[in-house]
Amino acid sequence: MNNRMTASGSLALAALLFCCLPQAAQAADDACAALKHYKLQGGAVDAVEVLAPPATFDIGFQGLPPLPVTAGFCRVQAHLTPTPASNIRIEVWLPPADAWNGKFVGTGNAGFAGNFTSPYLFMRSAVAKGYAAAGTDTGHVGNRMGEPPSADWALHQPEKIKDYGYRAEHLTAIAGKALVQAYYRHAPKHAYFQGCSNGGREALMEARRFPDDYEGIIAGAPAADWVGLATGFAWNTLAAHKSPEGALTTGKLAILQSAALKQCDLLDGVSDGVLEDPRQCKFDPASVECPNGADGDSCLNAAQVETARKIYGGPINPRTGASLFPGFAVGSEAVQWGQWITGPATDQSAFATSFYRNMVFSDPDWQLSSLDFDHDVDKARAVAGPALDSNDPDIAAFAKRGGHLLLYQGWADAAIPPQATINYYEAVRQKIGAARTDSAVRFFLVPGMAHCLGGPGPNDFDTLDALDHWVDSGQAPERLVAAKYETEYADLLGLPKGEPQRTRPLCAYPQTAHYKGGGSADEADNFICRRQ
């Protein structure tokens, strides 16, 4: 009898494989094709197609080959035109109905946007988990990821700046949900947003301006105070290139980092090349100054010490002495400072110049050397701040509707100063109250993580799963587990991760991870979360 039952089961399975699945696939293809004729409010659908493994997909990153499609989906390309000057391109990726988890994810952009690279990476991961996902170029065509950042598209284009600043992501949320409704015949049960860097700024903009768009929001390394950030970029660029004598070369950055780690690495109980909380490290760059301010292979000259102090300290108003934006943390100088801050042609220099040139002064010939850190910063806040800054801490409406905000920030980030994100969290707590903040917000600082990903510390962790569990269960995450893999950026490159080399808990702020004193220091279970 058991043999006959097995044979019967095999016949049934064969019938399913050769009959029902092709029919389901055809139904999904037909539903996708039908969206070409969908009447999208405020815009139009431009193209639809079905993509599935083993196809590959070009994410538009300079020098990166096409990545494999990890799960099938209906790809919808559309555009939105809220003003005559607007042309907001969007994409919505829709898994087949039998693979959809019933949820929707909006995704954020990097830098000055103008492309889909960052949204594609988030969308690719989300669709593999069964989410419907959406992204946008924020209303302009810009440079490819991997090329120097530029905002030339913003010159004399106030509506495009608004699209980039806040309008495109909001309208993408509306259009994305409408296409979800049309494809599946019912609305998503949950809607989330995730982004990092400029995408983190967009995330906080959604929480503040459009609290009903998403019930769960992930904001990584948010460039929330855009004006302050660009001003800090300008300050660092001018400091790092003031004179050849003060230049911080790769070797000098390694000296600074090594000295800070030697002084403070054991503060969390384990020597692992990563500072758990760099604020606890009272490192003075003068400790590695060469005798008599000279120069040498194992020390810094006086001008280099001054450069380091300016980058650690951040920009100040020359008239009042007031801080304009935080500086950068100690202990990770050799990780990304060369790319972002101190190299000959840095990302910070390009961002600051392009922002002030195109969005503040509307002068294509404006030079960074002419920036007045007193009056020009006020002008930038008045001209560009209303469209770009998302550091207003009043997210009471988002919290009141039951919204969940998951913040994270890498301590080794050389683009967004970690203290800026700490300041934002503390401002939220002061503005909406401790109880409401504790209910609606969780903040995780990531030791040794660079800008959004990578770095010497464990930097691979799943914020989307953590947010989803929080929304479904009502239990806010107090601890995430981050891993360090041998292949850095494995997800980005479409490569297998393998086994982690190290795991470490990320503790909800203001707690930090501390070694228990026994067991492997490479295993998260041997650490506890506690306050300093």
What is the model's pLDDT at position 27? 58
Residue 390 falls in the annotated catalytic set: no
Residue 451 falls in the annotated catalytic set: yes
* Distance, CA of 45 to CA of 77 (rounded, Å): 6
pTM of the model: 0.93
The values of phi and psi at residue 285, to 5°, are -60, -20
| CA distances for 360 relative to 81, 155, 198, 373, 518, angstroms | 24, 9, 18, 14, 55
129: left (phi over 0), alpha (psi -120 to 50) or beta: alpha
What is the model's pLDDT at position 470? 98
Q: Which of the residues 79, 170, 241, 451 is marked catalytic?
A: 451
* Distance, CA of 15 to CA of 154 (rounded, Å): 58
CA triplet 386, 197, 88: central angle to 5 degrees?
Answer: 60
* Distance, CA of 113 to CA of 356 (rounded, Å): 17
What are the tokens at 48?
């639809």
Q: What is the mean pLDDT of each run of 10 residues along the chain (532 residues)?
A: 42 42 61 95 96 91 85 97 97 97 97 95 95 98 84 97 98 98 97 98 98 98 98 97 95 98 94 95 96 89 97 96 97 96 93 97 96 96 97 98 97 98 98 97 98 95 97 96 88 78 97 93 95 82
Q: Which of the residues 86, 118, 197, 332 is marked catalytic?
A: 197
Q: Which residues contact 266 (CB under 8 A, 6 or more apart)?
A: none
> What are the start-end ranges of the H helices in 265-401?
302-313, 333-337, 347-355, 375-383, 385-388, 396-400
What is the model's pLDDT at position 29? 83
> Which residue matches tokens 């993509």?
51
DSSP codes, 40-88: -TTEEEEEEEEE-TT-EE---BTTPPPEEP-S-EEEEEEEE-SSTT--E
Q: What residues form DSSP beta bridges with 74? A: 50, 94
Q: What residues form DSSP beta bridges with 194? A: 107, 218
Q: Which of the residues 277, 389, 413, 460 is marked catalytic?
A: 413
Q: Which of 227, 237, 215 is nearest to 397 (CA)?
A: 215
The values of phi and psi at residue 471, to 5°, are -65, -45
Residue 413 falls in the annotated catalytic set: yes
DSSP codes, 110-148: -TT--SSHHHHHHHHHHHHTT-EEEEE-TTS--PPBTSP
* Distance, CA of 90 to CA of 47 (rounded, Å): 11
Q: What is the DSSP letter of 359?
A: I
* Distance, CA of 70 to CA of 54 (rounded, Å): 8
